[in-house]
Amino acid sequence: MTDNEILKIRECVEKRKVILSDGTKVSALGQGTWYMGENPGKKDEEINSLRLGLDLGMNLIDTAEMYGDGLSEELVSKVIEGRREEAFLVSKVYPHNVGMSSISRACENSLKRLRTDYLDLYLLHWRGRIPFEETIDGMEKLKKEGKILRWGVSNLDIDDMEELYSKSNGDNCDVNEVLYHLGSRGIEYDLLPWQRARNIPTIAYCPLAQAGSLKKDLLRNETLNEIARAHDVKPLQIALAWTIREKDIISIPKASSSKHVIENAKAASIFLSSSELERLDKVFQKPNRRMPLDIV
């Protein structure tokens, strides 16, 4: 890609922002890293893809200590080398590591692997047995120490979020990262409205669905394909644009090739009309009852 082509796409990406509670603006299109760093033969391509994503304005990079037992964090360290201030760095901590005696050590280990001295956002990966009070205290301690700037959660349903919010400093939770895509809209029934009432943004993981039959169903859907043809883009770009149609959702697709990174970034320039959204609602219906939270 030429510098002008990169700049043109970046300008579109940078127009789509989500505002966090402290006023920080983050790109609505970020980058996921699940399974990255695990295959030595793919590392160079993965690093180059994530760097290209930064070039294109997709500044949020989401990783976790669980991903490849730290290999993903190590790979991300190479991506952000010399570019730390460009990136909004997110990592996630195992549920068994969020006690007061272990969360500092877990965070320090992530910081060492990432070769940085702070995280922009630190998330509880999913709920475990450690009480929320202890997790919150640990997160707040890390904030005071400057090791993290913000904290949040992942894979928490509305009951968990209500309990978290009832605890002292629980309302300092900045985001909830959950699975969300056209084929999985359960959070729209109660969790998403609850978070919106409290100005808690959502990070959508697996925004293009997992590989397998569900993704194939998306790709084969005639309505999705018709809308894609009308915009002269690919069906999955429409699916990705759909996830960021509101201003409080950050979508983190994974792309391990430059081609897919560019396609993802170009989704920022796609705005779906009300009639197109209605057509998608007919084939990918909104939930009319409470549904269990999808987790992978």
pLDDT-derived band of residue 112, with 50, 70 and 90 as boundaries?
Answer: very high
**Do the Cβ atoms of 278 and 66 come closer than 8 Å?**
no
pTM: 0.96
Spatial neighbors of 219 by CB under 8 A, at least 6 apart, are 235, 236
Residue 218, pLDDT score: 83
Q: Where does residue 165 rank: exposed (0-12), middle (13-18), buried (19+ CB within 10 A)?
A: middle
Residue 214, pLDDT score: 73
For residues 85 and 198, give the distance between their C-alpha atoms in angstroms, rounded to a whole number: 29
For residues 162-179, give the mean pLDDT: 98
**In the predicted structure, residue 197 carries a pLDDT above the cut 90:** yes
Q: What is the DSSP letter of 125?
A: -
| Least reliable range by pLDDT among 22-36, 166-180, 215-229, 271-285 | 215-229
For residues 126-150, give the mean pLDDT: 98
CATH superfamily of 3-283: NADP-dependent oxidoreductase domain (3.20.20.100)
Q: Where does residue 248 rank: exposed (0-12), middle (13-18), buried (19+ CB within 10 A)?
A: middle
For residues 53 and 45, give the distance between their C-alpha atoms in angstroms, rounded to a whole number: 12
For residues 196 and 91, give the distance between their C-alpha atoms in angstroms, rounded to a whole number: 23
Residue 38, pLDDT score: 95
**In the predicted structure, residue 215 carries a pLDDT above the cut 80:** no
- Closest by Cα among 271, 263, 273, 272 to 9: 263
> Residue 12 corresponds to which tokens in the numbers above?
């579109």
For residues 67-92, give the mean pLDDT: 98
For residues 173-194, one letter each, b for 16 or more C-beta atoms within 10 angstroms of the residue's C-beta and e for the rest, the string is bbbbbbbbbbbbbbbebbbbeb
Average pLDDT in the chain: 96
SS3 19: strand
**Of 35, 67, 94, 189, catalytic:** 67
Tell me if 125 is assigned to a ligand binding site.
yes
For residues 200-225, give the mean pLDDT: 87
**In the predicted structure, residue 202 carries a pLDDT above the cut 90:** yes
Is residue 67 part of the annotated active site? The answer reads yes
Residue 130, pLDDT score: 98
**In the predicted structure, residue 186 carries a pLDDT above the cut 70:** yes
In the chain, what is the straight-line distance between the N-terminal and C-terminal CA atoms, in Å?
A: 34
Spatial neighbors of 141 by CB under 8 A, at least 6 apart, are 100, 103, 104
For residues 278-289, give the mean pLDDT: 96
Residue 210, pLDDT score: 72
**Do the Cβ atoms of 192 and 158 come closer than 8 Å?**
no
For residues 3 and 130, give the distance between their C-alpha atoms in angstroms, rounded to a whole number: 49
Residue 213, pLDDT score: 66
For residues 54-58, give the mean pLDDT: 98
pLDDT-derived band of residue 256, with 50, 70 and 90 as boundaries?
Answer: confident
For residues 229-258, give the mean pLDDT: 96
- Detail the DSSP E strand segments found in the chain: 17-19, 25-27, 31-32, 60-62, 88-93, 121-124, 151-154, 176-179, 202-205, 249-251
- The residue written with tokens 């309505």 in the block is 223
